[in-house]
């Protein structure tokens, strides 16, 4: 087709673009990097960053100074002589009122609390959220509402009732254990054991799991509600049941929300102080309580460098988690946004 229009356009395509254009604006609009809006935006960002990073800087610097250097009073000055002794001391030797093995004891206690609590709470919330969004039963909405109301009741109100509940449940379980124990074993004295929930790590794990429930169930329910019902119906037609759909259809699609739930729970439980100090005994205190006891124990000189190192050590776990999963976290939060 020797149509003049097609000829013109094929011809033009062979030439550099600017030859075809008149003078004057063409192409992408140039952007000025030092516009007033940009200066204001980045200026504010820089200011806020400094505001938040300064304390971290002071802590880091102080934690690697020796005590004589700290006494000179120059808080912002970089260390003249870098020493990691305060870190070692904070980890292994610092004294609380009760013991002198530093933060390490608290760290391992926290790990022992954290892992079962996170697994237990996420498992239960995952199943509940799935049931509440895809297997609605009569009263499931009411049940969910009650659960959410639980999130708005201040912890202080429940603190003491839970002490009683843990104590009595422990006693009740002990009674059952001792009454039925003879059925399983005839060994002498094997039935003397007591089940203790109050003042034990298992009790604290249960408390953490329960208190994580409202927000986690909300998170999972909303996430599953956003998965189309037709997918769920298709799986039912394909013969999958409650667990089959959960494990083979829903769970593989739930990575983002699982990450969010994990971050929420890990940071929440790791940073918990109140439950840790109320429901456990001195030798089981989690890291946060141990940190407090180290920082606040007054024996002679206040070792600021050790305190700083201890604080940084305690904050390291949530910090690492945020650092590595920040992007996933934002994605998951958006996915679990309140719907239906």
Partner 1 sequence: MNEMTKVDAGHSVEIRHLDLQFGAVEVLKDLNLDIHEGEFLVLLGSSGCGKSTLLNCIAGLLEVTAGQIIIKGKNVTWAEPSERGIGMVFQSYALYPQMTVKGNLSFGLKNARVPKAEIEKRVARAAEILQIEPLLDRKPGALSGGQRQRVAIGRALVRDVDVFLFDEPLSNLDAKLRAELRVELKRLHNQLENTMIYVTHDQVEAMTLADRIAIMRGGKIMQLGSPDEIYNRPQNRYVADFIGSPSMNFIDGRLEGGVFTSGELRLPMEGYEYAAPQVSDGPATIGIRPEHVVTGELAASAPVQTEVLVELVEPMGSDTLVYTELAGERFRIRMDGQAVVHAGDRLPIGLVPAKASMFDKSSEVRL
The residues that touch partner 1, with contacts defined as CB under 8 A, are 228, 230-231, 233-240, 244, 248-249, 252-253
**CB 133 to partner 1: min, Å:** 16
C-beta closer to partner 1: residue 116 or 244: 244
Q: Is the dihedral of CA 219, 222, 228, 234 positive or negative?
A: positive
Nearest 5 degrees, angle CA 158-CA 161-CA 167? 135
Please state, in angstroms and rounded to a whole number, the distance separating the CA atoms of residues 109 and 103: 10
Q: Contact 124/136 with Cβ under 8 angstroms?
A: no
**CB 325 to partner 1: min, Å:** 21
C-beta closer to partner 1: residue 233 or 281: 233
Q: Contact 221/129 with Cβ under 8 angstroms?
A: yes
**CB 236 to partner 1: min, Å:** 5
**CB 295 to partner 1: min, Å:** 48
Q: Which residues are CB-contacts of 152 (< 8 A; sequence separation ≥ 6)?
A: none
Please state, in angstroms and rounded to a whole number, the distance separating the CA atoms of residues 43 and 39: 6
**CB 253 to partner 1: min, Å:** 6
- Give exposure, 6-41, as e/b (b: 16+ Cβ within 10 Å): eeeeeeeeeeeeeeeeeeeeeeeeeeeeeeeeeeee
């Amino acid at each position: 087709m020797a149509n003049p229009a097609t000829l013109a356009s094929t011809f033009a395509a062979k030439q550099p673009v600017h030859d075809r254009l008149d003078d004057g604006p063409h192409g992408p609009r140039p952007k000025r990097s030092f516009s007033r809006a940009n200066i204001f935006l980045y200026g504010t960002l820089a200011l806020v960053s400094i505001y938040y990073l300064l304390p971290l800087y002071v802590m880091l610097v102080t934690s690697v100074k020796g005590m004589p250097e700290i006494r000179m009073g120059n808080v912002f000055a970089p260390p003249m002589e870098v020493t990691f002794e305060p870190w070692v001391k904070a980890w292994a030797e610092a004294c609380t009122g009760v013991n002198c093995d530093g933060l390490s004891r608290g760290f391992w206690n926290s790990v022992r609390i954290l892992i079962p609590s996170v697994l237990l709470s996420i498992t239960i919330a995952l199943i509940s959220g799935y049931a509440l969004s895809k297997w609605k039963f009569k009263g499931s909405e009411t049940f969910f509402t009650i659960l959410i109301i639980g999130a708005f009741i201040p912890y202080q109100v429940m603190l003491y009732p839970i002490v009683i509940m843990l104590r009595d449940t422990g006693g009740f379980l002990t009674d059952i254990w001792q009454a039925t124990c003879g059925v399983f074993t005839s060994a002498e004295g094997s039935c003397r054991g007591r089940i203790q929930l109050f003042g034990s790590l298992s009790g604290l794990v249960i408390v953490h799991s329960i208190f994580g429930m409202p927000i986690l169930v909300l998170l999972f329910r909303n996430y599953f509600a956003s998965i189309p019902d037709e997918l769920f119906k298709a799986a039912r037609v394909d013969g999958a049941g409650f667990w089959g759909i959960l494990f083979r259809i829903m769970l593989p699609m739930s990575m983002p929300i699982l990450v969010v739930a994990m971050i929420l729970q890990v940071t929440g439980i790791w940073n918990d102080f109140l439950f840790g100090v109320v429901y456990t005994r001195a030798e089981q205190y989690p890291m946060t309580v141990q940190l407090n006891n180290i920082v606040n124990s007054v024996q002679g000189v206040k070792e600021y460098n050790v305190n700083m190192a201890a604080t940084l050590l305690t904050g390291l776990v949530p910090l690492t988690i945020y650092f590595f999963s920040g992007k996933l976290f934002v994605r998951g939060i958006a996915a679990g946004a309140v719907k239906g």
